[in-house]
């Protein structure tokens, strides 16, 4: 990375600290340096929200953005679904940090509004003790999951890759030991589109989760990418 890019991200390190202190403990602010996708977080405030530390890798959503290059046509992504390590629903937003059109970093804000939801629901129930609350204010999380996989937060590459495989296995209602070659190819194709293999070491974790060899994963990837050309 150039010295200019470094200086730009150094500015955002201070901004990460500032936003964390200004917004308060329910807002996690994380700064990613894309020169190292495996250890991309270089600054984080209020990290108790997701449980991550400095040195954590990119998330599944960030990897997909890198793979589909959607950042080229927008400057930020607002209010998408995230899930903390403890299973709490988060409202996530990401600012794309660019230099001469090239994406060099991401500034992400993850808001845990669970405390406020509990208070608002309690107040609404005082006015509407019947099923009004459930029918009018219930968030359809299942619908949100169908639209796009929620963002998951991990401290290791293993967590990112393994969770991605598990999600695909659950979607197909099958276990790894029952997969045939065609099903493995289909899963690896999905993971490739999501950018999982942009992480160094992801091939091993995917191979372990799919109960096949690393050589098989590389062979499947070669087949998939040839077909996409």
Report pLDDT for 145.
47
Distance CA 219, CA 115 (A): 48
Report pLDDT for 146.
43
8 Å CB contact between 82 and 177 = no
Nearest C-alpha neighbor of 203 from the set 190, 218, 183: 218
Per-block average pLDDT, block size 10, for the chain (229 residues)?
Answer: 69 96 96 94 96 95 94 94 87 94 95 77 65 50 54 91 95 95 97 96 96 97 85
Task: Report the run of H or E that residue 136 belongs to, with start and end.
Answer: helix 132-136
Distance CA 22, CA 71 (A): 27
Distance CA 24, CA 123 (A): 23
C-alpha dihedral, 44 to 50 to 56 to 60, nearest 10°: -120
CATH of 3-113, one of 3.10.180.10, 3.40.350.10, 3.30.830.10, 3.30.450.20: 3.30.450.20
Task: Please tell me the pTM assigned to this model.
Answer: 0.81
Report pLDDT for 116.
73
- CA separation (Å) from 62 to 5, 66, 152, 181? 19, 6, 10, 28
The domain segmentation of the chain, as residue ranges, is: 3-113, 115-142, 156-228
Nearest C-alpha neighbor of 43 from the set 21, 87, 12: 12
């Amino acid at each position: 990375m150039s010295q200019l890019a470094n200086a730009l991200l150094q500015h955002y390190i201070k901004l990460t600290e500032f936003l964390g202190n200004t917004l308060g403990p329910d807002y996690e602010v994380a700064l990613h340096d894309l020169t190292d996708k495996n250890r991309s977080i270089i600054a984080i405030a209020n990290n108790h929200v997701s449980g991550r530390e400095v040195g954590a890798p990119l998330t599944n959503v960030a990897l997909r953005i890198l793979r589909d290059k959607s950042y080229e046509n927008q400057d930020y992504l607002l209010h998408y679904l995230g899930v903390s390590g403890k299973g709490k629903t988060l409202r996530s937003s990401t600012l794309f940090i660019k230099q001469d059109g090239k994406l060099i970093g991401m500034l992400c804000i993850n808001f845990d509004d669970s405390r406020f939801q509990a208070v608002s629901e309690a107040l609404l129930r005082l006015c509407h003790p019947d099923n009004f609350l459930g029918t009018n204010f219930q968030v359809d999380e299942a619908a949100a999951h169908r639209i796009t996989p929620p963002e998951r937060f991990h401290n290791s590459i293993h967590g990112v890759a393994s969770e991605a495989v598990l999600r695909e296995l659950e979607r197909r209602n099958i276990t790894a030991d029952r997969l045939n070659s065609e099903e493995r190819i289909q899963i690896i194709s999905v993971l490739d589109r999501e950018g999982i293999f942009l992480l160094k070491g992801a091939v091993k974790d995917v191979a372990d989760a799919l109960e096949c060899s690393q050589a098989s994963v590389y062979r499947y990837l070669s087949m998939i990418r040839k077909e996409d050309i």
